Amino acid sequence: MPQIFRIGSYRVYFWSNEGRPLEPVHVHIAEGKPYQNATKVWITKTGHALLCNNNSKIPPKILRGILRMIEANSADIIEEWIKQFNDQTFFC
């Protein structure tokens, strides 16, 4: 799993196998070891972070901080997505 960054004990990462057709640009968030069905956040064309699900059950206050960090780094995240998957589409 390509890790994008860490915030405390939380990892923000891509899942290596995002399926075919490739899903729109997004990241997963998990505390500790990455797993496929962790919290998912879509990245929009304009760099906003949209919560798809909170399967990792991250407390709201912590999740808000992580979402702000994702938005602040959205251009870098999109760039890394393109390097990893050679493609980019957006949820919106």
Residue 71 near residue 49 (C-beta atoms within 8 A): yes
Give the angle 92-28-32 at the CA atoms, nearest 5°.
165
pLDDT of residue 20: 72
Q: Tell me the pTM.
A: 0.92
pLDDT of residue 22: 81
CA distances (Å), 81 to each of 11, 24, 43, 53, in order? 16, 10, 11, 20
Radius of gyration of the chain (CA): 12
Q: Which residues of the chain carry a pLDDT beneath 50?
A: none
Can you give the pLDDT at residue 1? 65
Rounded to whole angstroms, the Cα distance separating 83 from 68 reads: 23
